[in-house]
Amino acid sequence: MHQETTTRPSAVPIRSGIVTLSGYGIKVAVDRRHLSVSDGIGRQRRAGRFAKATSRIKRLVVIAQTGFVTLEALRWLHDAKAAFVQLNHDGSILTASIGGLDDARLRRAQALIPMTEHRLAIAREILEAKLKGQLAVLDSFGLEGGSRVRAAIALLDRAGRMDRVLIAEAQAAEAYWDAWAGVPVTFAQRDRVPDHWRAFGARRSPLTLAPRNAGNPLNAILNYLYTLLEVETRIALIGRGLDPGLALFHCDEANRQSLAADVMESVRPHVDAFVLNLARTRTFSAKDFAETREGACRLASPLAQELAPTMTTWAKLAAPYAEAVARHVARLAKSGLGMEAPIRTAGGDRARVKVRVRPIAAPVAPKAVRSVPIATAANACRSCGAKLTIRKRLFCDQCLPDRREEAQLSTVVSFRSAGPAKIAAMREAGHDPTTTPEAQRRRASTASKQRKAIAAWRDDGSLDRVDFRRDILPKLQGLPVRLIAEAMGASTSHGSKVRSGLLVPHKRHWKALLTTVRAK
Protein backbone atom coordinates (compact mmCIF):
# COMPACT_ATOMS: atom_id res chain seq x y z
CA MET A 1 0.00 0.00 0.00
CA HIS A 2 1.43 3.36 -1.03
CA GLN A 3 1.63 5.85 1.82
CA GLU A 4 1.72 9.47 0.74
CA THR A 5 3.77 11.78 2.93
CA THR A 6 3.15 15.50 3.04
CA THR A 7 5.11 18.35 4.49
CA ARG A 8 3.30 21.37 5.86
CA PRO A 9 4.86 24.55 4.42
CA SER A 10 6.12 27.24 6.74
CA ALA A 11 4.79 30.79 6.63
CA VAL A 12 6.24 33.47 4.38
CA PRO A 13 7.16 36.40 6.67
CA ILE A 14 6.64 40.07 5.89
CA ARG A 15 9.35 42.31 7.37
CA SER A 16 9.16 46.09 7.20
CA GLY A 17 6.62 45.76 4.41
CA ILE A 18 8.96 43.56 2.30
CA VAL A 19 7.98 40.06 1.14
CA THR A 20 10.86 38.09 -0.40
CA LEU A 21 10.38 34.90 -2.42
CA SER A 22 13.14 32.62 -3.70
CA GLY A 23 13.70 29.08 -4.89
CA TYR A 24 11.83 27.22 -7.63
CA GLY A 25 8.20 27.05 -8.65
CA ILE A 26 7.32 30.52 -7.38
CA LYS A 27 3.60 31.18 -7.24
CA VAL A 28 2.01 34.63 -6.93
CA ALA A 29 -1.75 34.73 -7.42
CA VAL A 30 -4.95 36.09 -5.90
CA ASP A 31 -7.18 33.75 -3.92
CA ARG A 32 -10.45 35.14 -2.54
CA ARG A 33 -9.12 38.72 -2.59
CA HIS A 34 -5.95 37.71 -0.76
CA LEU A 35 -2.49 37.69 -2.33
CA SER A 36 -1.38 34.05 -2.22
CA VAL A 37 2.35 33.35 -2.54
CA SER A 38 4.48 30.22 -2.41
CA ASP A 39 8.20 29.52 -2.76
CA GLY A 40 10.93 27.13 -1.64
CA ILE A 41 13.08 24.23 -2.82
CA GLY A 42 11.84 20.63 -2.90
CA ARG A 43 9.83 19.79 0.19
CA GLN A 44 11.06 22.86 2.01
CA ARG A 45 8.20 25.07 0.89
CA ARG A 46 6.72 28.28 2.27
CA ALA A 47 3.29 29.77 1.72
CA GLY A 48 1.53 32.98 2.69
CA ARG A 49 -1.74 34.85 2.30
CA PHE A 50 -1.94 38.62 2.66
CA ALA A 51 -4.97 40.87 2.87
CA LYS A 52 -4.80 44.22 1.11
CA ALA A 53 -6.07 46.25 4.05
CA THR A 54 -3.99 44.72 6.84
CA SER A 55 -0.76 43.37 5.31
CA ARG A 56 0.73 46.78 4.33
CA ILE A 57 2.95 45.25 1.65
CA LYS A 58 5.35 47.77 0.09
CA ARG A 59 7.57 45.51 -1.99
CA LEU A 60 7.29 41.98 -3.39
CA VAL A 61 10.83 40.84 -4.24
CA VAL A 62 11.25 37.61 -6.22
CA ILE A 63 14.73 36.09 -6.51
CA ALA A 64 13.95 33.25 -8.91
CA GLN A 65 13.58 32.36 -12.57
CA THR A 66 10.86 29.70 -12.49
CA GLY A 67 7.20 30.04 -11.51
CA PHE A 68 4.35 32.35 -12.41
CA VAL A 69 2.73 35.63 -11.46
CA THR A 70 -0.88 36.17 -12.54
CA LEU A 71 -2.20 39.39 -14.04
CA GLU A 72 -4.68 39.57 -11.21
CA ALA A 73 -1.78 39.53 -8.73
CA LEU A 74 -0.08 42.42 -10.54
CA ARG A 75 -3.33 44.37 -10.35
CA TRP A 76 -3.59 43.56 -6.64
CA LEU A 77 -0.06 44.91 -6.07
CA HIS A 78 -0.81 48.03 -8.13
CA ASP A 79 -3.95 48.79 -6.12
CA ALA A 80 -1.98 48.24 -2.89
CA LYS A 81 0.70 50.66 -4.17
CA ALA A 82 3.30 47.90 -3.83
CA ALA A 83 6.17 47.45 -6.27
CA PHE A 84 6.92 44.07 -7.86
CA VAL A 85 10.64 43.39 -8.37
CA GLN A 86 12.30 40.31 -9.88
CA LEU A 87 16.04 39.87 -9.34
CA ASN A 88 18.41 37.49 -11.05
CA HIS A 89 20.66 35.19 -9.02
CA ASP A 90 23.61 37.47 -9.78
CA GLY A 91 21.78 40.46 -8.25
CA SER A 92 20.75 42.17 -11.49
CA ILE A 93 17.22 43.50 -11.98
CA LEU A 94 15.08 41.47 -14.39
CA THR A 95 11.69 43.09 -13.87
CA ALA A 96 10.44 46.09 -11.91
CA SER A 97 6.77 47.04 -11.90
CA ILE A 98 6.69 50.56 -10.47
CA GLY A 99 3.95 53.15 -10.59
CA GLY A 100 4.44 56.90 -10.32
CA LEU A 101 3.82 60.36 -11.75
CA ASP A 102 3.55 60.45 -15.57
CA ASP A 103 4.35 63.96 -16.83
CA ALA A 104 6.08 64.35 -20.21
CA ARG A 105 6.93 67.97 -19.41
CA LEU A 106 9.17 66.89 -16.57
CA ARG A 107 10.92 64.32 -18.74
CA ARG A 108 11.49 66.95 -21.44
CA ALA A 109 13.06 69.28 -18.89
CA GLN A 110 15.10 66.41 -17.45
CA ALA A 111 16.58 65.72 -20.90
CA LEU A 112 17.74 69.36 -21.05
CA ILE A 113 19.39 69.36 -17.60
CA PRO A 114 22.85 68.23 -18.85
CA MET A 115 22.99 71.33 -21.09
CA THR A 116 22.40 73.77 -18.22
CA GLU A 117 24.22 74.87 -15.07
CA HIS A 118 21.92 72.59 -13.07
CA ARG A 119 23.98 69.55 -14.07
CA LEU A 120 27.13 70.72 -12.27
CA ALA A 121 25.15 71.83 -9.22
CA ILE A 122 23.37 68.48 -8.90
CA ALA A 123 26.54 66.46 -9.49
CA ARG A 124 28.46 68.40 -6.84
CA GLU A 125 25.62 68.02 -4.34
CA ILE A 126 25.40 64.26 -4.85
CA LEU A 127 29.14 63.52 -5.03
CA GLU A 128 29.96 65.78 -2.09
CA ALA A 129 27.55 63.74 0.03
CA LYS A 130 29.17 60.54 -1.27
CA LEU A 131 32.76 61.60 -0.55
CA LYS A 132 31.95 62.93 2.90
CA GLY A 133 30.10 59.69 3.61
CA GLN A 134 33.12 57.66 2.53
CA LEU A 135 35.34 59.72 4.80
CA ALA A 136 32.95 59.14 7.70
CA VAL A 137 33.04 55.37 7.04
CA LEU A 138 36.83 55.27 7.04
CA ASP A 139 37.08 57.31 10.25
CA SER A 140 34.31 55.39 12.00
CA PHE A 141 35.77 51.95 11.28
CA GLY A 142 39.42 52.92 11.76
CA LEU A 143 40.47 52.34 8.15
CA GLU A 144 43.32 54.15 6.42
CA GLY A 145 42.96 56.40 3.41
CA GLY A 146 41.17 59.31 5.06
CA SER A 147 43.83 61.86 4.03
CA ARG A 148 43.48 60.95 0.35
CA VAL A 149 39.70 61.24 0.54
CA ARG A 150 40.02 64.65 2.22
CA ALA A 151 42.26 65.76 -0.62
CA ALA A 152 39.62 64.59 -3.11
CA ILE A 153 36.93 66.56 -1.23
CA ALA A 154 39.11 69.68 -1.42
CA LEU A 155 39.53 69.09 -5.17
CA LEU A 156 35.77 68.71 -5.52
CA ASP A 157 35.18 72.01 -3.74
CA ARG A 158 37.48 73.80 -6.20
CA ALA A 159 36.13 72.05 -9.31
CA GLY A 160 34.31 74.34 -11.71
CA ARG A 161 33.92 71.84 -14.53
CA MET A 162 32.23 68.48 -14.77
CA ASP A 163 35.40 66.58 -15.67
CA ARG A 164 37.15 67.92 -12.56
CA VAL A 165 34.25 66.76 -10.40
CA LEU A 166 34.47 63.25 -11.84
CA ILE A 167 38.26 63.17 -11.37
CA ALA A 168 37.84 64.01 -7.67
CA GLU A 169 35.25 61.25 -7.31
CA ALA A 170 37.57 58.72 -9.01
CA GLN A 171 40.52 59.63 -6.77
CA ALA A 172 38.41 59.23 -3.64
CA ALA A 173 37.07 55.87 -4.87
CA GLU A 174 40.59 54.53 -5.45
CA ALA A 175 41.72 55.47 -1.93
CA TYR A 176 38.46 54.29 -0.39
CA TRP A 177 38.46 50.77 -1.83
CA ASP A 178 42.19 50.33 -1.22
CA ALA A 179 41.43 50.83 2.49
CA TRP A 180 38.93 47.95 2.34
CA ALA A 181 41.46 45.38 1.09
CA GLY A 182 42.29 43.83 4.46
CA VAL A 183 38.77 43.77 5.96
CA PRO A 184 38.36 40.19 7.29
CA VAL A 185 35.35 37.90 6.96
CA THR A 186 34.76 35.46 9.82
CA PHE A 187 33.55 31.94 9.03
CA ALA A 188 32.87 29.02 11.36
CA GLN A 189 36.00 27.07 12.28
CA ARG A 190 34.72 23.82 10.77
CA ASP A 191 33.71 25.44 7.47
CA ARG A 192 36.07 24.94 4.55
CA VAL A 193 35.84 27.96 2.26
CA PRO A 194 38.23 29.36 -0.38
CA ASP A 195 41.01 31.47 1.06
CA HIS A 196 40.02 34.55 -0.94
CA TRP A 197 36.59 34.47 0.75
CA ARG A 198 38.15 35.41 4.10
CA ALA A 199 38.97 39.02 3.17
CA PHE A 200 37.48 41.79 1.05
CA GLY A 201 40.40 41.98 -1.36
CA ALA A 202 39.62 44.26 -4.32
CA ARG A 203 36.34 45.82 -5.38
CA ARG A 204 36.82 44.56 -8.93
CA SER A 205 36.02 40.92 -9.55
CA PRO A 206 38.90 38.78 -10.88
CA LEU A 207 36.40 37.24 -13.32
CA THR A 208 35.21 40.43 -15.03
CA LEU A 209 37.64 43.14 -13.82
CA ALA A 210 34.49 44.99 -12.75
CA PRO A 211 32.31 44.89 -9.61
CA ARG A 212 29.79 42.54 -11.26
CA ASN A 213 30.12 38.77 -10.70
CA ALA A 214 31.78 39.18 -7.31
CA GLY A 215 34.45 36.70 -6.39
CA ASN A 216 34.04 36.79 -2.58
CA PRO A 217 31.25 37.19 0.00
CA LEU A 218 31.67 40.86 0.98
CA ASN A 219 31.61 42.01 -2.64
CA ALA A 220 28.60 39.78 -3.29
CA ILE A 221 26.74 41.37 -0.35
CA LEU A 222 27.67 44.84 -1.59
CA ASN A 223 26.38 44.07 -5.10
CA TYR A 224 23.12 42.68 -3.75
CA LEU A 225 22.48 45.64 -1.44
CA TYR A 226 23.41 48.09 -4.18
CA THR A 227 20.78 46.40 -6.35
CA LEU A 228 18.17 46.88 -3.62
CA LEU A 229 19.26 50.51 -3.32
CA GLU A 230 18.93 50.94 -7.09
CA VAL A 231 15.40 49.57 -6.96
CA GLU A 232 14.41 52.04 -4.25
CA THR A 233 16.10 54.91 -6.09
CA ARG A 234 14.19 54.04 -9.27
CA ILE A 235 10.95 53.97 -7.31
CA ALA A 236 11.73 57.38 -5.77
CA LEU A 237 12.53 58.92 -9.17
CA ILE A 238 9.54 57.46 -11.01
CA GLY A 239 7.26 58.54 -8.17
CA ARG A 240 8.43 62.12 -8.78
CA GLY A 241 7.86 61.97 -12.53
CA LEU A 242 11.51 61.53 -13.57
CA ASP A 243 12.95 59.05 -16.05
CA PRO A 244 15.52 56.89 -14.19
CA GLY A 245 17.35 56.20 -17.46
CA LEU A 246 18.32 59.78 -18.44
CA ALA A 247 21.69 60.34 -16.77
CA LEU A 248 23.31 63.42 -15.31
CA PHE A 249 26.96 62.35 -15.09
CA HIS A 250 26.86 58.60 -15.79
CA CYS A 251 26.85 57.64 -19.45
CA ASP A 252 23.53 56.85 -21.10
CA GLU A 253 23.59 53.16 -21.91
CA ALA A 254 21.08 50.59 -23.05
CA ASN A 255 19.36 48.59 -20.31
CA ARG A 256 20.79 50.74 -17.51
CA GLN A 257 19.02 53.13 -15.19
CA SER A 258 21.71 55.79 -15.33
CA LEU A 259 19.91 58.51 -13.35
CA ALA A 260 19.24 56.00 -10.58
CA ALA A 261 22.96 55.19 -10.64
CA ASP A 262 23.66 58.93 -10.29
CA VAL A 263 21.34 59.54 -7.35
CA MET A 264 22.23 56.38 -5.42
CA GLU A 265 25.89 57.45 -5.24
CA SER A 266 25.09 59.60 -2.21
CA VAL A 267 23.64 56.64 -0.30
CA ARG A 268 26.32 54.07 -1.13
CA PRO A 269 28.43 54.95 1.96
CA HIS A 270 25.49 54.02 4.19
CA VAL A 271 25.33 50.62 2.51
CA ASP A 272 29.10 50.30 2.95
CA ALA A 273 28.84 51.06 6.67
CA PHE A 274 26.17 48.41 7.01
CA VAL A 275 28.35 45.78 5.29
CA LEU A 276 31.42 46.67 7.37
CA ASN A 277 29.39 46.42 10.56
CA LEU A 278 28.06 43.06 9.38
CA ALA A 279 31.58 41.78 8.71
CA ARG A 280 32.79 43.02 12.08
CA THR A 281 30.01 41.54 14.23
CA ARG A 282 28.85 38.41 12.43
CA THR A 283 30.19 34.89 11.96
CA PHE A 284 29.10 33.59 8.57
CA SER A 285 28.40 30.02 7.60
CA ALA A 286 29.58 28.43 4.38
CA LYS A 287 25.92 27.77 3.64
CA ASP A 288 25.29 31.53 3.44
CA PHE A 289 27.01 31.62 0.06
CA ALA A 290 27.38 29.51 -3.06
CA GLU A 291 30.06 29.37 -5.75
CA THR A 292 29.10 29.09 -9.40
CA ARG A 293 30.91 26.88 -11.88
CA GLU A 294 32.75 29.96 -13.12
CA GLY A 295 33.93 30.83 -9.59
CA ALA A 296 31.57 33.72 -8.85
CA CYS A 297 30.22 34.09 -5.32
CA ARG A 298 26.46 34.27 -4.81
CA LEU A 299 24.27 34.83 -1.76
CA ALA A 300 22.21 31.83 -0.70
CA SER A 301 18.45 32.30 -0.52
CA PRO A 302 18.22 32.55 3.31
CA LEU A 303 20.80 35.35 3.47
CA ALA A 304 19.23 37.17 0.52
CA GLN A 305 15.81 36.99 2.21
CA GLU A 306 17.37 38.23 5.44
CA LEU A 307 18.90 41.31 3.79
CA ALA A 308 15.87 42.26 1.69
CA PRO A 309 14.07 44.19 4.51
CA THR A 310 16.85 46.79 4.43
CA MET A 311 15.09 48.24 1.35
CA THR A 312 12.93 50.43 3.57
CA THR A 313 16.02 52.10 5.02
CA TRP A 314 17.61 52.66 1.61
CA ALA A 315 14.32 54.21 0.46
CA LYS A 316 14.40 56.76 3.29
CA LEU A 317 18.02 57.65 2.58
CA ALA A 318 17.57 57.99 -1.19
CA ALA A 319 14.36 60.05 -1.05
CA PRO A 320 15.96 63.44 -0.16
CA TYR A 321 18.37 63.27 -3.10
CA ALA A 322 15.68 62.15 -5.54
CA GLU A 323 13.60 65.08 -4.32
CA ALA A 324 16.54 67.45 -4.82
CA VAL A 325 16.96 66.35 -8.44
CA ALA A 326 13.21 66.65 -9.03
CA ARG A 327 13.36 70.19 -7.62
CA HIS A 328 16.03 71.22 -10.14
CA VAL A 329 14.08 69.62 -13.00
CA ALA A 330 10.83 71.33 -11.94
CA ARG A 331 12.51 74.73 -11.79
CA LEU A 332 13.88 74.27 -15.29
CA ALA A 333 10.47 73.13 -16.51
CA LYS A 334 8.81 76.21 -15.01
CA SER A 335 11.37 78.56 -16.54
CA GLY A 336 10.70 77.23 -20.03
CA LEU A 337 14.40 77.39 -20.93
CA GLY A 338 15.01 75.43 -24.11
CA MET A 339 11.30 74.65 -24.58
CA GLU A 340 8.64 76.30 -26.68
CA ALA A 341 6.69 77.49 -23.63
CA PRO A 342 7.06 77.25 -19.87
CA ILE A 343 4.77 75.09 -17.77
CA ARG A 344 1.91 77.13 -16.40
CA THR A 345 1.24 76.84 -12.70
CA ALA A 346 -2.05 78.62 -12.38
CA GLY A 347 -4.45 77.49 -9.73
CA GLY A 348 -6.72 75.82 -12.28
CA ASP A 349 -3.93 73.64 -13.67
CA ARG A 350 -4.43 70.38 -11.84
CA ALA A 351 -1.31 68.83 -13.39
CA ARG A 352 1.04 71.64 -12.47
CA VAL A 353 4.62 70.94 -11.50
CA LYS A 354 5.30 71.47 -7.81
CA VAL A 355 8.57 72.95 -6.64
CA ARG A 356 9.55 72.29 -3.05
CA VAL A 357 10.74 75.56 -1.52
CA ARG A 358 11.68 74.20 1.91
CA PRO A 359 15.31 72.93 1.97
CA ILE A 360 15.79 69.19 2.27
CA ALA A 361 18.02 67.94 5.09
CA ALA A 362 20.60 65.39 3.96
CA PRO A 363 20.85 62.08 5.85
CA VAL A 364 23.31 61.82 8.71
CA ALA A 365 26.84 60.67 7.98
CA PRO A 366 27.24 56.88 8.07
CA LYS A 367 28.99 55.54 11.16
CA ALA A 368 29.51 52.17 12.76
CA VAL A 369 26.95 52.83 15.48
CA ARG A 370 24.47 54.19 12.94
CA SER A 371 24.77 51.42 10.37
CA VAL A 372 21.50 49.69 9.72
CA PRO A 373 20.84 46.66 11.98
CA ILE A 374 19.16 43.50 10.68
CA ALA A 375 16.24 42.72 12.94
CA THR A 376 16.32 39.04 11.99
CA ALA A 377 20.09 38.53 11.83
CA ALA A 378 20.93 34.86 12.35
CA ASN A 379 24.52 34.53 13.49
CA ALA A 380 26.37 31.28 12.88
CA CYS A 381 28.13 29.14 15.46
CA ARG A 382 31.83 29.93 15.34
CA SER A 383 32.69 26.26 15.65
CA CYS A 384 30.27 24.25 13.46
CA GLY A 385 28.49 26.98 11.48
CA ALA A 386 24.97 26.10 12.65
CA LYS A 387 22.45 28.94 12.76
CA LEU A 388 21.88 30.48 16.20
CA THR A 389 18.46 31.51 17.42
CA ILE A 390 19.85 33.97 20.00
CA ARG A 391 21.75 36.87 18.40
CA LYS A 392 24.21 37.38 21.27
CA ARG A 393 25.31 33.74 21.33
CA LEU A 394 28.61 32.76 19.71
CA PHE A 395 28.30 28.95 19.91
CA CYS A 396 25.43 26.50 19.60
CA ASP A 397 24.24 24.19 22.40
CA GLN A 398 26.31 21.31 21.02
CA CYS A 399 29.61 23.21 20.84
CA LEU A 400 29.21 25.40 23.93
CA PRO A 401 30.30 22.77 26.56
CA ASP A 402 33.47 21.96 24.62
CA ARG A 403 34.30 25.63 24.21
CA ARG A 404 33.76 26.26 27.92
CA GLU A 405 36.10 23.41 28.83
CA GLU A 406 38.72 24.70 26.39
CA ALA A 407 38.44 28.12 27.98
CA GLN A 408 38.84 26.61 31.43
CA LEU A 409 41.88 24.63 30.32
CA SER A 410 43.46 27.71 28.79
CA THR A 411 42.82 29.55 32.04
CA VAL A 412 44.46 26.76 34.02
CA VAL A 413 47.46 26.76 31.67
CA SER A 414 47.88 30.50 31.98
CA PHE A 415 47.50 30.24 35.75
CA ARG A 416 50.12 27.51 35.91
CA SER A 417 52.56 29.60 33.92
CA ALA A 418 51.82 32.71 35.95
CA GLY A 419 52.03 31.03 39.38
CA PRO A 420 55.61 29.66 39.19
CA ALA A 421 56.78 32.90 37.58
CA LYS A 422 55.31 34.91 40.45
CA ILE A 423 56.83 32.61 43.07
CA ALA A 424 60.23 32.83 41.34
CA ALA A 425 60.03 36.63 41.36
CA MET A 426 59.14 36.64 45.06
CA ARG A 427 62.03 34.29 45.86
CA GLU A 428 64.44 36.56 44.00
CA ALA A 429 63.15 39.44 46.13
CA GLY A 430 64.00 37.45 49.29
CA HIS A 431 60.49 36.25 50.15
CA ASP A 432 59.46 32.62 49.59
CA PRO A 433 55.71 32.18 50.27
CA THR A 434 56.06 28.39 50.43
CA THR A 435 58.33 28.54 53.51
CA THR A 436 56.24 30.77 55.73
CA PRO A 437 55.02 29.27 59.03
CA GLU A 438 51.41 29.36 57.78
CA ALA A 439 52.27 27.46 54.58
CA GLN A 440 54.24 24.86 56.51
CA ARG A 441 51.39 24.38 58.97
CA ARG A 442 48.86 23.85 56.14
CA ARG A 443 51.10 21.29 54.39
CA ALA A 444 51.59 19.39 57.62
CA SER A 445 47.85 19.35 58.31
CA THR A 446 47.06 18.04 54.81
CA ALA A 447 49.76 15.36 55.02
CA SER A 448 48.43 14.23 58.41
CA LYS A 449 44.90 13.88 57.04
CA GLN A 450 46.14 11.85 54.06
CA ARG A 451 48.11 9.46 56.32
CA LYS A 452 45.08 8.94 58.58
CA ALA A 453 42.84 8.28 55.58
CA ILE A 454 45.27 5.71 54.17
CA ALA A 455 45.58 3.99 57.55
CA ALA A 456 41.80 3.83 58.02
CA TRP A 457 41.10 2.42 54.53
CA ARG A 458 40.56 -1.34 54.23
CA ASP A 459 40.90 -3.16 50.90
CA ASP A 460 37.92 -5.50 50.44
CA GLY A 461 39.43 -7.18 47.34
CA SER A 462 36.86 -5.82 44.88
CA LEU A 463 39.55 -3.94 42.98
CA ASP A 464 42.09 -6.73 42.68
CA ARG A 465 41.47 -7.25 38.96
CA VAL A 466 41.21 -3.52 38.18
CA ASP A 467 44.18 -1.78 36.62
CA PHE A 468 44.06 2.00 36.85
CA ARG A 469 45.81 2.79 33.58
CA ARG A 470 43.86 0.17 31.66
CA ASP A 471 40.37 0.33 33.17
CA ILE A 472 39.99 3.81 34.71
CA LEU A 473 42.36 6.32 33.07
CA PRO A 474 40.86 6.07 29.53
CA LYS A 475 37.39 6.78 30.91
CA LEU A 476 38.59 9.88 32.75
CA GLN A 477 39.55 11.67 29.54
CA GLY A 478 35.96 12.77 28.91
CA LEU A 479 35.47 14.19 32.42
CA PRO A 480 36.21 17.76 33.50
CA VAL A 481 39.11 18.14 35.90
CA ARG A 482 36.75 19.66 38.45
CA LEU A 483 34.68 16.45 38.78
CA ILE A 484 37.80 14.29 39.11
CA ALA A 485 39.17 16.53 41.87
CA GLU A 486 35.84 16.55 43.73
CA ALA A 487 35.61 12.75 43.58
CA MET A 488 39.01 12.42 45.29
CA GLY A 489 38.60 15.43 47.60
CA ALA A 490 41.76 16.91 46.13
CA SER A 491 42.80 20.11 44.37
CA THR A 492 42.23 20.78 40.66
CA SER A 493 45.97 20.60 39.99
CA HIS A 494 46.04 17.12 41.58
CA GLY A 495 43.01 16.11 39.49
CA SER A 496 44.69 17.40 36.33
CA LYS A 497 47.77 15.27 36.99
CA VAL A 498 45.56 12.22 37.53
CA ARG A 499 43.64 12.73 34.28
CA SER A 500 46.82 13.31 32.29
CA GLY A 501 48.35 10.08 33.67
CA LEU A 502 51.22 11.81 35.46
CA LEU A 503 49.98 10.58 38.84
CA VAL A 504 48.25 7.35 39.88
CA PRO A 505 45.87 8.06 42.80
CA HIS A 506 45.67 5.89 45.89
CA LYS A 507 43.54 2.80 45.48
CA ARG A 508 40.96 4.14 47.90
CA HIS A 509 39.90 6.72 45.29
CA TRP A 510 39.30 4.24 42.45
CA LYS A 511 35.71 3.39 43.38
CA ALA A 512 34.78 7.06 43.60
CA LEU A 513 36.31 7.67 40.19
CA LEU A 514 34.45 4.73 38.63
CA THR A 515 31.19 5.96 40.16
CA THR A 516 31.77 9.43 38.70
CA VAL A 517 32.48 7.94 35.25
CA ARG A 518 29.27 5.85 35.30
CA ALA A 519 27.23 8.86 36.44
CA LYS A 520 28.38 10.85 33.42
- Residue 425 domain-assigned (yes or no): no
Task: With H, G, I as helix, E, B as strand and everything else as coil, classify residue 457.
Answer: coil
Residue 231 and residue 324 in one domain: yes
CA dist., res. 377 & res. 498, Å (int)? 45
- What CATH number is given to the structural domain containing 80? 3.100.10
DSSP 107-147: HHHHHHGGGSTHHHHHHHHHHHHHHHHHHHHHHHTT-S-HH
pLDDT digits (tens, 9 = 90+) for 6-46: 567 889 999 889 999 999 999 999 999 999 999 998 888 99
What is the pLDDT, as a whole number, of residue 355? 42
Nearest to 416 by CA among 500, 504, 517: 500
Residue 108 and residue 257 in one domain: yes
Average the pLDDT over each of 77-86, 246-255, 266-275 and give the range with the smallest value: 246-255
What is the pLDDT, as a whole number, of residue 416? 62
What is the pLDDT, as a whole number, of residue 349? 41
Among candidate residues 287, 307, 335, the one where a domain is terminated: 335
- Contacts of 104-109 with CB under 8 Å at 24 or more apart are 105/333, 105/343, 105/353, 106/241, 106/242, 106/326, 106/329, 106/330, 106/333, 106/353, 107/241, 107/242, 107/243, 107/246, 108/333, 108/339, 109/329, 109/330, 109/332, 109/333, 109/339
- Residue 163 domain-assigned (yes or no): no
- Residue 459 domain-assigned (yes or no): yes
- Residue 271 domain-assigned (yes or no): yes
pLDDT band (50, 70, 90) for residue 115: confident
Mean pLDDT of 217-226: 95
What is the pLDDT, as a whole number, of residue 368? 53
Residue 108 and residue 25 in one domain: no
Residue 32 and residue 111 in one domain: no
Among candidate residues 320, 335, 350, the one where a domain is terminated: 335
What is the pLDDT, as a whole number, of residue 92? 83
Residue 108 and residue 59 in one domain: no
Residue 39 and residue 109 in one domain: no
* Phi/psi of residue 245, nearest 5 degrees: -95, -15
Residue 276 and residue 327 in one domain: yes
Residue 247 and residue 275 in one domain: yes
Residue 109 and residue 78 in one domain: no
Residue 191 and residue 230 in one domain: yes
* Phi/psi of residue 398, nearest 5 degrees: -75, -40
Residue 361 has pLDDT above 50, yes or no: no
Residue 188 and residue 62 in one domain: no
- Residue 139 domain-assigned (yes or no): no
The structure's pTM equals 0.70
Cα angle at 247 between 245 and 248, to 5 degrees? 155
Helix (H) or strand (E) holding 187: strand 186-187
Mean pLDDT of the residues in the chain: 84
Residue 110 and residue 39 in one domain: no
The structural domain count of the chain equals 3
- Residue 345 domain-assigned (yes or no): no
- Residue 247 domain-assigned (yes or no): yes
- Residue 303 domain-assigned (yes or no): yes
* Phi/psi of residue 167, nearest 5 degrees: -65, -45
β-bridge partners, 45: 40
Mean pLDDT of 326-341: 74
Residue 494 has pLDDT above 60, yes or no: yes
- What CATH number is given to the structural domain containing 226? 1.20.120.920
Among candidate residues 335, 355, 374, the one where a domain is terminated: 335
User: What is the span of the domain harbouring residue 33?
Assistant: 10-87
pLDDT digits (tens, 9 = 90+) for 57-68: 999 999 998 999
